[in-house]
Structure 1
Amino acid sequence: MIVFNINHTDYTLLLKDLAAEFGIAFTGDDYVDLPESAGKGCIKILKLFDELQVLVADVTFNKTLITSREYSDSRFFILHFDDVNITNTAKLKVDGETLLKTNTRHAVARLTSNMFVNTEELPAGLHIRSIKILFSESWLKKYLDLSPEQPVLEKYLSLKTESFDIESLDTEYLRLMDDIFQVPQHDPLQNIFLQNRVTLLIERFFTRLHDKSSLLEGRFSLTDDEVQRLIKVEQLLINNLGETPPTIDEFSKLVSMSSTKLKKSFKGIYGDSIYAYYQKVRMQKARELLMSGKYKVNEAASTIGYQNTSNFIMAFKKQFGISPGEVAGLQ
């Protein structure tokens, strides 16, 4: 088991401490190659911006990895883009609240902060592809064009485990990540290229987060607690796309909200009715499965809960204007 505290605001120091943890010499370069005793792969820093730090990891650890970030009064944030195929159980924990992920592809963008204690426990043998962007509260306020007195956390963010999957990685996110992982090491234009891709990741995340958070701008008369309950509904919808979701009445009881208010408020946040949103998300999931080249049409259909492949084909074509067979054939 590897246990590592990552209370760093400097990724170079993080690499140095990682090298010490693995018992290898730190050369001062912007990367650390895992020794065979720890696993395989590389963790590196991209030095692209003055106010942002970017860490890229493409690794597999031989042992269970537990990372912990403690609470700090000095506010900073980390924007994670994580793509992990979990074949056992992974554990994410924030301030005592725990989220378990089992036998799934954990492909999400999420925002965490040192204002909460964050712990991750990943079992041995997982292939982890991750891009982490660290920035200060002042940068975030400047980026979002907020005045200094506006509380970023209360206005825009929900950093508890209920919203860990606030943004699933769709094909566009994954394409941008692939571009970053695959850029040639000695390309003379690599920094310009990488700056562009990292910027697009950031813009995409915050644009979509802002859209989801529109009710916090006062457009809807909901309390912060009601917002969290709506986020919970969204998570229950998309956490297991292979199973039939709860009914509206069941959702209403689960989150203690009338069915009328639930339906109106959900559409106000997410732009679609509950089941229209669910259908869009699972069609997007099917598209990602087909584009991976690892799933046949009937397998993708079954994975998202369709027992009748013909019905799946009709729904897919209605959503994308192209048949799932054509998408699979592009690979």
Structure 2
Amino acid sequence: MLFRFSATPDFDFITYFARHLQTPIHNGVLEIPEKLGQGSIRKVAFGPDFKITLHHYLLQEELLLERTASGLGNELVTIFFYDNEQALGIAYNQEPPVLFSQRTESAIQVTSNDLSSTIRFPAQQRIQYVVVAITPTRLTELLALRDPNSVLQTITGRGNSFLFFESMPAEARLLLTKLMTVDLQASLSQFYLQIKVQELLYLVFQKLSLRENATHQPLNSADAARLLEVRQALLRDLSVPPVLRELAHVAAMSETKLKQLFKQTFGTPIYSYYQQARMEEAAFLLKHGRYSVAQVGYELGFSNLSHFSRLFEKHYGQNPKKFSVS
């Protein structure tokens, strides 16, 4: 199933998607028809310039959500929180999809509405993600920034094209769980939701505010697609360190431009991103894969296990052995 839309400020996803499914909306809730799956999409608006959509469902067939560029510049800031355990395929500029899930270091996506993208939802898998849409003006009022860094200036300014990724902290996952389980008919539910959504935004923009000041490099849908290809190449085999020259070839960019855009988008240099992903995979394998410390180290390309232990302890505050039994 394919659903195309343009993310203009006045676009209401749930209304148009309900028409596409030929399904009614009751009190802001779209129940997925039994013939298509199970679950729901819920929308709550905190005014015409600030709304949240909560997706929680399982579908009988694959769903493609194709968002086309609005052509209006940055008239709407969209924040995606990918809270599903199974990975979703996300693509820009009609390129092949790249997988994201709550366990990836890029589970939160902040983007302007002038970039085209596609999200691929697999069939027969539980889908859970949240979308916050807010105008730059309303966001500026909420953040009440005194001295914003260049990243926040870009996001809250008008006419800027941007794409930023962040990891999903534990506090954000807890907030998303609370949002998903709120009874929309309960007294003060909208007030409660607005507080929790603002907490969620605080966690995202607090992290973005810590990024270093740098001149923002313009970004288009083709650039976004190439950066995701680079990320996929970077993470394809975590036992092999990245080679900048090869990644620049994948991106069809100069090495300088790739380094600038990658750090701008993902918040960290290419090699640091690779090392962080390595450590997160190590932590996951130690906790859930029943691997020994030596097996994990060698699996991730460490010939020196002492170096692996030191690097792991630097990231997690304890050595791999203690971490695996904690």
TM-score by length of 2: 0.69
- 1:83, CA displacement in angstroms? 3.2
2:300 alignment partner, SS class: coil
Correspondence for 2:290: 296
Corresponding position: 1:100 with 2:97 = yes
- 1:10, CA displacement in angstroms? 5.5
Question: Among 301, 318, 321, which residue is 1:322 paired with?
Answer: 318
Amino acid at match of 1:61: L
2:107 alignment partner, SS class: strand
Q: Distance in 2 between matches of 1:326 and 1:49?
A: 49
Q: Is the 8 A contact 2:98 2:229 kept in 1?
A: no
After superposition, give the CA deviation of every residue in 1:218-258 in whole Å (9 maximum; x if it has no partner): xxxxx658xx7996798368534634122456567775347
Corresponding position: 1:136 with 2:135 = yes
- 1:295, CA displacement in angstroms? 3.6
- 1:131, CA displacement in angstroms? 0.7
Correspondence for 2:162: 158
Q: Is the 8 A contact 1:44 1:55 kept in 2?
A: yes
Correspondence for 2:15: 16
Correspondence for 1:114: 113
Q: Is the 8 A contact 1:4 1:68 kept in 2?
A: yes
- The structure, 1 or 2, with the larger RCO (C-alpha pairs under 8 Å, 6+ apart) is 2
1:67 alignment partner, SS class: strand
Amino acid at match of 1:53: K
After superposition, give the CA deviation of every residue in 1:48-106 in whole Å (9 maximum; x if it has no partner): 4663100011112111212223333452232111234557x83523xx35242259766
Q: Distance in 1 between matches of 2:289 and 2:189?
A: 33
Q: Distance in 2 between matches of 1:103 and 1:211?
A: 23
Q: Is the 8 A contact 2:166 2:267 kept in 1?
A: no
Correspondence for 1:235: 231
Distance 1:30 1:231, change over 3 A: same
Q: Distance in 2 between matches of 1:92 and 1:323?
A: 37
Q: Distance in 2 between matches of 1:4 and 1:200?
A: 31
- 1:46, CA displacement in angstroms? 2.9
Distance 1:5 1:270, change over 3 A: closer
Amino acid at match of 1:79: I
Question: Among 32, 35, 59, which residue is 1:34 paired with?
Answer: 32
1:216 alignment partner, SS class: coil
Corresponding position: 1:78 with 2:84 = no
Q: Is the 8 A contact 1:81 1:108 kept in 2?
A: yes
Structure 1 unaligned blocks of 5 or more: 218-222
Distance 1:277 1:71, change over 3 A: closer
2:115 alignment partner, SS class: coil
Corresponding position: 1:64 with 2:71 = no
Q: Is the 8 A contact 1:91 1:100 kept in 2?
A: yes
Correspondence for 2:43: 45
Q: Distance in 2 between matches of 1:20 and 1:264?
A: 42
Q: Is the 8 A contact 1:91 1:122 kept in 2?
A: no
- 1:265, CA displacement in angstroms? 10
- 1:171, CA displacement in angstroms? 3.4
Amino acid at match of 1:296: R
After superposition, give the CA deviation of every residue in 1:287-311 in whole Å (9 maximum; x if it has no partner): 4666xx6443549937972567965
- 1:174, CA displacement in angstroms? 2.6
Structure 2 unaligned blocks of 5 or more: none
Distance 1:110 1:274, change over 3 A: closer
Correspondence for 1:201: 200
Q: Is the 8 A contact 2:84 2:127 kept in 1?
A: yes
Q: Distance in 1 between matches of 2:324 and 2:201?
A: 29
Correspondence for 2:177: 178
Q: Distance in 1 between matches of 2:118 and 2:228?
A: 21
Q: Is the 8 A contact 1:33 1:42 kept in 2?
A: yes
Q: Distance in 1 between matches of 2:260 and 2:112?
A: 31
Corresponding position: 1:278 with 2:279 = no
Q: Is the 8 A contact 1:31 1:43 kept in 2?
A: yes
More off after superposition, 134-143 vs 124-133: 134-143
* RMSD of aligned alpha carbons: 4.6
- 1:130, CA displacement in angstroms? 0.9
2:108 alignment partner, SS class: strand
Q: Is the 8 A contact 1:77 1:114 kept in 2?
A: yes
- 1:314, CA displacement in angstroms? 4.8
